[in-house]
Amino acid sequence: MSLRKSEYIDRLVDKKIDEYLSIFGAVSIEGPKWCGKTWASLNHANSKVLLDEDEIKEKSPALWSYLQTGKDTTAKKYLCKSRRLWYMQENRTATPFLCSYMGRSSESRSPFRFILNHSDAVATNSYLMLYPKPGLERLIAENTALLNKVWDILCSIGNKSIENEGRVYGGGLKKIEPKELAKVPCQELDFLC
């Protein structure tokens, strides 16, 4: 029995999920918010188990009690209040590109560096994780040599362009937030997509 919805549209990842399921028997599907993890999972699932708050309260009173201790504090903090269930940990996939978001510059060093993530490491809060938009992601999947090209383009962005969008703190500490970095002009990337 499949939980496939009639309106589900096959994605590139479906073939990979089928391949992994045939090898391992189970797969963990992870990714950023709203990328289709639930739909893709249900498409391949024979059953599902979702623990809602009533079920946690009934089946695990100690866990429920522990979660209640954070409702007036942790649940109201910036990251937690934007989650569907405030206590759920964000689950991200690795991205091919990282950017340092804070640093000091010198004559020989930029405060911001772009990193090509060969290790598939998931950055916590020490780097900005740059996810390619769907069109560019598709092109990279078709031609992996494009990863280095994109990285070269990112590295060629002038320091002043990035610094103009960011901010400067006391002592010359420079910082850029994700929305500020998104405003940095980079016509070469626009041409790739």
Look over the chain and give the mean of its residue pLDDT values, rounded to a whole number.
84
Residue 103: strand, helix, or coil: strand
List strands edge to edge, sheet with 114-116.
Answer: 114-116, 97-99, 128-130
pLDDT in the model for residue 153: 93
Q: Give the pLDDT band of residue 1 (cuts 50, 70, 90).
A: very low
Q: What share of the chain is helix, strand, coil (3-state, %, to 5)?
A: 45, 10, 50
The pTM of this model reads 0.57
More confident residue, 4 or 120: 120
pLDDT in the model for residue 46: 73
Q: What is the mean pLDDT of residues 152-166?
A: 91
Q: What is the mean pLDDT of residues 1-22?
A: 76
Lowest-confidence segment of 67-71, 115-119, 121-125, 129-133 by average pLDDT? 121-125
